[in-house]
Amino acid sequence: MLQINRLLISVLLTAGCTACQSCKQRDFSSKDGYDLVILNGRVIDPETNLDAVRNIGIREGSVQIITEKVIGGKSSIDATGLVVAPGFIDMHQHGQDQENYRYKVMDGVTTALELEMGTSDVDRWYREREGKSLINFGVSSGHVPLRMMIMNDPGGFAPVGDAVYKKASDEEIKRLSEGIEKGLSRGALGVGFGLMYTPGASRLEILEMFRVAGRHNAPCFVHMRYGGLVVPDCIEALQEVLANSAVSGAPLHIVHVTSLGFSLTPQLLKMIKEARVHGIDVTVECYPYTATQTTIESAVYDEGWQQKFGIGYKDLQWADTGERLTAESFARYRKTGGMVIAHSIPEDVVKSTLADSIVIIASDGMLERGKGHPRGAGTFSRVLGKYAREDKVLTLMEGLKKNSLMPACRLEGIAPGMKKKGRIQRGSDADITIFDPCLIIDKATYDDPSRFSDGIKHVIVNGTVIVENGSVVENTFPGRPVRGIVK
């Protein structure tokens, strides 16, 4: 009897120990206190050059720990065989609505900013997106929309009336300056310029806007006045804004350099590097495609465009239908308006620009009802898939740096919160993209531009999972405003 009791006690103790171990495991997870853990992923941080298998603990929207030790949390992602990278930051995204945010997040983007064209009403722009966004969002104070408002131009994305060709009066320049000033005081991320869309804007007018930016140390995001190969050309256009930056002290950022420089892009990059050596705060971006896109009714397609861009009607593709244009259809669409794609950038220029160490990646993206340029859906995956993995134009680490860290660094001066983005480090924002390095690739094409990229497995914004196992999580809006100091 005693032997039986001893056996029973032994069994009960063993069962108790097993239960206790299970409880310990649960307590362990609770004790760690993480909302989310990412386990066994290849963590790549482009600032510290970390590239190793690690576990990440996230709490209250920020990274709390990066460790080789086992950790637990309320929920977990098994990232075995996947790269865990900082969420991609798109500094040049025109489509700022729910449709476009879905394409962005499926391309690994966690922050999308409208910095080239900007807005005339900063407070309203942010208010319209607060609590309604999948991803983080931000905007510049825009010279073009302010000029359109002041001159009662009826255009949409770009001006089509007085704001195109009219020379601003002294009073209008004063109102433009005041509008830029107000936007910056309300937390705009800089000043946006589309100089090719406003050929009537004098050099003095633009210099005055740079002076406002300089007083705030606010970056000027510039689509230069001229593009292409015919004088006045892109060289002269770059000289104008470099001089403005030198005079005003405003930081300068040149948008989509290849779509303005074409075969002269290496000369533009050389000028930018020389300016940097001599103390000018200037940065530059490109997108990884051989075609541009803008509105056909804009000043970009004024007479002489064939000579400037070195292309003809057959190189133009109507975004809505995919058709190539003729002289007749060009004239017709020029009257009705809409988006046109121009196949005009040499592939060797795209490759050499992507490989250049100073060049940031940005999409210039905008899709409407699934129509537009494939850059709106595939830019960042294309860099990592086609150009890093397949063509070996740059390394994976270099691609991730251009996709995340470099845009964050460009904006830290005006938005200190960007110091916590573009990185995976303790204390950084939990904006994270997890992808398969063997599969990541863009799928969007010029004929079918709304296809999601492949290989993006999970995306996290401010600690909330918004892409899970390759699918967007519905009715989740963790995106927050990226904003300068509001005065």
Domain ranges across the chain: 1-32, 87-287+355-428, 291-344
What would the pLDDT profile of 310-336 be if each residue is shown by its tens digit?
999 999 999 999 999 999 999 999 999
pLDDT at position 362 is 98
Mean pLDDT of 64-83: 97
State the architecture of 87-287+355-428 in CATH terms: Alpha-Beta Barrel (3.20)
220: closest CA among 260, 269, 280, 300? 280
% of the chain residues with pLDDT over 70? 94
**330-333, long-range: CB < 8 A, 24+ apart:** 330/296, 333/296
Mean pLDDT of 181-187: 98
| Whether the Cβ atoms of residue 391 and residue 306 lie closer than 8 Å to each other | no
In the predicted model, is pLDDT for residue 304 greater than 80?
yes
In the predicted model, is pLDDT for residue 203 greater than 70?
yes
In the predicted model, is pLDDT for residue 27 greater than 50?
no
| Whether the Cβ atoms of residue 325 and residue 333 lie closer than 8 Å to each other | yes
**Banded pLDDT at 7 (limits 50, 70, 90):** very low
290: closest CA among 446, 454, 90? 446
What would the pLDDT profile of 392-419 be if each residue is shown by its tens digit?
999 999 999 999 999 999 999 999 999 9
**Banded pLDDT at 31 (limits 50, 70, 90):** low
